[in-house]
Amino acid sequence: MTNVEGEMVCVTGDSDFIGSSIVQLLLRRGYTVRATVKNLWDERKTKHLEAIEGADSRLSLFQLDLLDYDSITAAVSGATGVFHLASPCVIDRVHDPQRELLDPAIKGTINVLTAAKDLGVRRLVVTSSISAMIASSSFLADASEDCWIGEGYCCQNGIWYPLSKALAEKAAWKFAEENGLDIVVVNPGMVVGPIIPPDLNSSMKLMLRVIQEGFFMASVHVQDVALAHLMLYENTSAAGRHLCVESLSRYEDFAEKMEILYPEYKLPRFPKDTQHGSVKSNAALKKLIDLGMEFTPLEQIIKDSIESLRSKGYLS
């Protein structure tokens, strides 16, 4: 294990669900962390970060606007590595896709990568999404490093968040190739588990939809996602995209587990033939598994998610 004492890294989007867990893991590992938030004066975005063990001496908070290059350079300056998570996550009620999602995701990513290049950052870990790879859970078995969701399909169906993730990731790969920048990408599924921030994030809102409506996307524990980011940063031989989910499970598998663990929550059930493209498989997860990742099993993911939702008052 390399000595990271004194090494400074920057994490964009730190007050969110995944970012908070990454900051926690980095501080535990011994890194000095620069964390970015949209508003330094909003305690709902800062207090939970400042409460993490080690934050008092090794965490600095910076206000960041993805479309303001100067705010990015202020946060990145002096860092040897960058974890780029900051990107708008609007699932419902998108009124202006270009302004709300596409511009901040794409232009923001390029701004972060440009700052990293100009300031001599050694390595970047970029957070994308499984939604940049596939259109729906019906295609989970086909998810791989070579898959990209279709731009035309997204525009025709108003699926703006996956489009923003795909276009931002493509822009990152193009920029990195043209400028010799060392990047690696994590493509998580529906990230769930213990909630550190005070507010419910989009992924855990989707978890509520799983319970209420039967909506489902392959899930992964938030602590596994944080660990994947750290592993890819520290393992310099890691390259390319990395699908990060517990397994490519069917909704049916999830519903059966839920019925056993929490019979009080009656999940909708669907005919088995509607799950035809979704089979349990770990083949696409081989890259992270080969690096030593041991994914939290689905049963524990469900328990940690439900208990966290209960503790926050979102479930009774």
Q: What is the 3-state secondary structure (H, E, C) of 71-131?
A: HHHHHHCCCCEEEECCCCCCCCCCCCHHHHHHHHHHHHHHHHHHHHHHCCCCEEEEECCHH
291-295 contacts at long range (C-beta below 8 A, 24 or more positions apart):
291/231, 291/232, 291/235, 291/238, 292/231, 293/224, 293/227, 293/228, 293/231, 295/220, 295/221, 295/224, 295/245, 295/246, 295/247
- Side chain identity, residue 140: L
Please state, as a whole number, how many other Cβ atoms lie within 10 Å of the Cβ of residue 147: 18
Active site residue 272: no
Q: Strand locations in 201-313, DSSP E?
A: 219-221, 240-244
Q: C-alpha angle 79/221/298, rounded to 5°?
A: 160
Catalytic residue among 45, 165, 257, 287: 165
- Side chain identity, residue 33: V
Number of helices and strands (H, E) in the chain? 13, 9
Q: Report yes or no: 277 and 141 within 8 Å, Cβ to Cβ.
A: yes
Tell me 231's DSSP state.
Answer: H
Please report which helix (H) or strand (E) contains residue 187, including its range: strand 183-188
In the sheet where 240-244 sits, what is the strand order?
Answer: 59-63, 32-37, 8-12, 81-84, 123-127, 183-188, 240-244
Cα–Cα distance for residue pair 297/169, rounded to 1 Å: 28
- Look at residues 91, 107, 45 and name the one whose alpha carbon lies nearest to residue 99: 107
Report the catalytic residues.
165
